[in-house]
Structure formats: C-alpha cells, structure tokens
C-alpha cells in the first residue's frame, strides 16, 4: 500500500482511551494498537471487536472494521502484507460495515513503515503479546503455472464462469459487464448501460445489414442491441461457456437467430480476410496480454474490410503492467491473465498493425460510477449472492470492485474507447462528431431495418 508523508500522531489519551482494566488483555492490546495507528481518523473508521466492544472510535464513523479474532491483528502487525489482509477478510477474520472505499482509501494513506522505528518496535512488541491466529493465514505469491496462455479458455472461465445467476444479481437487465455511459451522477445504471450500448453502435457508425464481429461478446448485450436497433448481422464470440450458453438463450428468446450467431471461439482461431464491416471489442482487451498485442490487432486488421471501422474498449493503466502487490492480487484472485497497458502503448500497437486511431475517449469517471452501482447492488443482495456462489466469492467481488472504483477515481486506471480505421481509408469517419450526440437512444419501433436480413 502507498503511504503519504503524513506521520501519525501519538496516541490520544482523551475520548479514545478505554478503561483497560475492564478489558481482557487482548482487547486492551488491540485498543492500544488501534490508537497508535488511527488516532486522528475517528470520523473515518471505528474498530469493533469479536464481543461487540469498541477498540477505537465511537461507532459513528463512515466505516467500522470488525476484528473477529485477536490473532489476525498480531499477524498483520508483525507481517504487514496485502495478501494476508485480503485472506483475513475473505475467511471472515476481518469484516467491514459501512463504506468499503473509505477503509481502502485510509489503508492507502497509512502504513507501518511511515512510523518512526521506535514506534514500529513498540507496535511489534504489543502484537507479540496477542495469541496466535487459529490457523496460518496463507500468503499466495503467484498464480499457478497452468495459467500460461493469455486469454485462454481456462483463464476466462476462472472469472466469468462463476455463474450467470451470480452476475445477474448485480448487473443491469442487459447484463453488461463493462462501464456504463452516464449523463449524470444520479442516472440509473440500467439507463446508462443502454446509453453505452447505443453510443458504441453510433461510434461504429453501424448501418443495417452490416456484418459486425463482437470479440468477447459476454452475455450478448451489445449483439442484441446492434441487431435489434441497428439491423446489423452480428457474430459474437466468447471463451466463457456460461456466457455463451446464456447469450444463445437470449438470442433465441428475442427471435434474432437469423441475425445473431454466438460461438464459443478464440479470436485467434477466426479464419479468412476482410469479412466484417465493423469489429468491436468491449471489456476483453484486458485479457490479451501486452506481448500478444501484435497478434490481437493483426487478427482484427486481417478480418476487417478495408473501409471498415474498429472500436476497442478496454481498461488502461498509468503505467504498463508491473509486479506489485496490487497486480499480484488481480492476477491471483480475479484475472489470472490480466494485464493493463498505457494508452500510448495501445495506440502504438494499433499503428504497428496498420490501424489509424481516429478518435480516443477516456471514460474513467463512468467506470467509477458503474462500479459503485455494482457494489451497492451486490451488497443489497448479499444472501442471494452467497447462495448461488459462496461467502468467499461474495467477499472477493465486493473487495475487488470497491478497490477498482477507488483506483478509477484516483486516476491509477482508466478506460479508453479507441475508434480506428485501416490506414489508407481516406475517410472512415464523418468530418465532425455531431452524429454521436444528436440521435437519442432508439427503441424497437424506430429500428431501421433496411437490408438487415
């Protein structure tokens, strides 16, 4: 975790000092440690112990850290490590009530190495007086070696095949698992996701009868939107069996089997040249791997017609993927093959493949808003989420999405939509952008069928 230059103030003997004589030894020690680390942050956090007593704060803070056994404090003070902290939360030794992001933000601003050596020694001495944890907290160092091929079916399944019922609980009705496109902070998620689907179709300048390839089609939200509202012929591909099954069911229910084909297929296995008028990739680019950019963009270039348009929507980072505690967390728990690149790295790879980037838009604030909707939805349906997955899965996704929302807000990561044409295409886009904003979201009564069939 990152630290700031701010140093912690000495323990406050005032309102946060508890009557240690009426506490057990472990409770008294944890109260002392909490005061040493958290004094000055009473409005941000309270600490509650396994018996319901407060070790720090008065319970009115925006978040409350629940310590369910004394041993977890001992281990985290003696061996501060992101994975120990995560594992302690996942197995229930630590829990949280209230604003998850507030705790994560505070954690980034605090750290034992920001303390003078004398106070670190004192904290370690206190921690060693606590009983050891019931069992050793595992500290994974890397993902198992079998996850070797970026964007493989196994790595995609690890994330997306958690179960359609799980995702359905907290996604919008279209089941769009990428950032929405908000008109305002208080716009409903479902409406903002429909706006995003339409915005993508307008960026593609999609016309009736055009052939659209959707790489990483998810549960078919964009494919259905493009066929239903723009009359496109869509070929969607995914490596997730769960997504493929549900996407096919949704296509059949919509009566669009004549216009949409969904396949369980790797994009690298697509054959042919100049087959598609439009190609779009939304939310799968993060799995590609920087070393595979030439293959990825080269494949898209081969499949796109000379006058075609390509839209790549993916998360980017302020720096290319490096081995840090945060990236190890992502690769171990969430995306085994995930790698984020700078937008400059992405654009250079596109140009090397023969693309001309025509329009680049950063939707970073939209993803922070989206993630907060997802976290609230997940928390509101906690019991159902656990019933269709597990307690650990619920906790992991709650932690992951809250941490990502904070990171998007701070600018550590962003999400860019890049509209590109093949170099040499004299005018792939209109001279101005009015067409992106002038037309409202269409409904089925306004669909321009043209030569759709």
Enumerate the active-site residues: 404
What three-state secondary structure class fits 88?
A: helix
Please state, in angstroms and rounded to a whole number, the distance separating the CA atoms of residues 287 and 238: 12
Within 10 angstroms of residue 126's Cβ, the number of other Cβ atoms is 18
Backbone angles phi, psi at 28, to 5 degrees: -65, -40
Please state, in angstroms and rounded to a whole number, the distance separating the CA atoms of residues 417 and 282: 9
Two tokens, residue 331: 């690769």
Please state, in angstroms and rounded to a whole number, the distance separating the CA atoms of residues 397 and 167: 10
Please state, in angstroms and rounded to a whole number, the distance separating the CA atoms of residues 216 and 282: 7
**Interacting residues of 100 by C-beta distance below 8 A, sequence separation 6+:** 63, 375, 398, 399, 402
Please state, in angstroms and rounded to a whole number, the distance separating the CA atoms of residues 268 and 114: 48
What three-state secondary structure class fits 151?
A: coil
Two tokens, residue 155: 């790595």
Within 10 angstroms of residue 10's Cβ, the number of other Cβ atoms is 9
Three-class HEC string of 169-182: HHCCCCCCCCCCCC
**Interacting residues of 332 by C-beta distance below 8 A, sequence separation 6+:** 83, 140, 142, 143
Q: How many CA atoms lie within 13 A of 449 on its CB side?
A: 4
Please state, in angstroms and rounded to a whole number, the distance separating the CA atoms of residues 117 and 335: 37
What is the distance between the terminal CA atoms of the chain, rounded to a whole angstrom?
55
What DSSP letter does each residue of 295-335 carry, written as one string? HHHHHHHHHEEEEEEEEEEEEEESS-----HHHHHIIIII-
Edge-to-edge, what's the strand order for the sheet holding 45-49?
A: 54-56, 45-49, 63-67, 94-98
Of 82, 55, 96, 79, nearest to 133 by C-alpha is: 79
Check if the beta carbon of residue 337 is closer than 8 Å to that of residue 155.
yes
């Amino acid at each position: 975790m990152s630290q700031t230059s701010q140093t912690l103030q000495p323990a406050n003997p005032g309102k946060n000092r508890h009557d240690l004589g009426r506490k057990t030894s472990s409770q008294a020690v944890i109260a002392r440690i909490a005061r040493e680390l958290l004094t000055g942050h009473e409005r941000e956090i309270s600490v509650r112990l396994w018996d319901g007593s407060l070790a720090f704060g008065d319970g009115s803070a925006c978040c409350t850290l629940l310590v369910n056994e004394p041993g977890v404090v001992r281990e985290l003070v003696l061996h501060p490590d992101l994975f120990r902290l995560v594992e302690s939360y996942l197995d229930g030794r630590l829990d949280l009530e209230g604003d998850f992001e507030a705790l994560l933000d505070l954690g980034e601003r605090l750290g034992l190495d920001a303390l003078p050596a004398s106070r670190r020694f004192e904290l370690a001495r206190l921690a060693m007086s606590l009983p050891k944890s019931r069992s050793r907290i595992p500290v994974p160092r890397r993902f198992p070696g079998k996850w070797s091929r970026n964007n493989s079916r196994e790595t995609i399944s690890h994330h997306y095949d958690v179960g359609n019922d799980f995702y359905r609980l907290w996604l919008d009705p279209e089941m769009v698992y990428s950032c929405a496109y908000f008109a305002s902070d208080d716009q409903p998620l479902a409406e903002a996701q429909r706006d995003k689907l339409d915005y993508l179709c307008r960026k593609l300048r999609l016309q009736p009868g055009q052939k659209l390839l959707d790489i990483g089609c998810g549960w078919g939200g964009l494919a259905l939107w493009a066929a239903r509202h723009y009359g496109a012929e869509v070929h969607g591909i995914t490596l997730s069996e769960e997504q493929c099954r549900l996407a096919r069911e949704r296509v059949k229910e919509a009566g669009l089997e004549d216009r949409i084909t969904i396949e369980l297929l790797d994009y690298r296995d697509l054959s042919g040249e100049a087959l598609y008028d439009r190609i779009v990739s939304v939310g799968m680019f993060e799995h590609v791997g920087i070393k595979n950019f030439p293959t990825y963009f080269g494949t898209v270039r081969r499949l796109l017609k000379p006058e075609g348009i390509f839209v790549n929507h993916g998360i980017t980072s302020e720096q290319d993927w490096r081995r840090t505690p945060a990236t190890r967390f992502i690769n171990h728990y969430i995306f085994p093959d995930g790698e984020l690149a700078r937008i400059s790295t992405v654009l250079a790879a596109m140009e090397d493949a023969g693309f001309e980037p025509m329009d680049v838009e950063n939707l970073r604030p939209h993803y922070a808003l989206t993630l907060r909707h997802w976290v609230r939805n997940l928390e509101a349906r906690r019991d159902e989420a656990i019933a269709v997955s597990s307690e650990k899965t619920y906790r992991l996704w709650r932690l992951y999405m809250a941490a990502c929302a904070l990171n998007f807000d701070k600018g550590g990561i962003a999400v860019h939509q890049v509209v590109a044409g093949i170099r040499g295409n004299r005018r792939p886009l209109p001279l101005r952008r009015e067409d992106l904003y002038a037309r409202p979201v269409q409904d089925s009564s306004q669909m321009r069928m043209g030569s759709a069939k």
